[in-house]
Amino acid sequence: MSAKARHVRTTADGAVFTITLDRPEARNAYSDEMVAQLVQAFDTAERDPEVHRALERARTLRLHGDRQPGHS
């Protein structure tokens, strides 16, 4: 990943891999950087033989919308 802000955070707890969207200022709208981070997170979960479930959630109560036009 680049030096840009991390908008996706991950944790592993046994068989559960949690992917947390962390871009509340944009209501977790997907940016190009965020999509790249999501792909990396799901790839990491898929490669880990201990992981049996991946859970995606948001850090705040704000739900994500569509991609945010003009922002990456």
- Ranges of each domain in the chain: 8-58
Reading the chain (72 residues) residue by residue, the pLDDT tens digits are 445 668 999 999 999 999 999 988 888 888 899 999 999 999 999 999 999 999 999 887 665 555 555 554
DSSP designation for 32: H
pTM reported for the whole predicted model: 0.76
Residue 13 exposure: Cα atoms within 13 Å on the Cβ side: 5
Phi and psi torsions of 57, nearest 5°: -145, 170
Burial class (CB in 10 A: 0-12, 13-18, 19+), 19: buried
Assign domain 8-58 to a CATH class. alpha beta
Does an H or E element contain 18, and which? strand 16-21
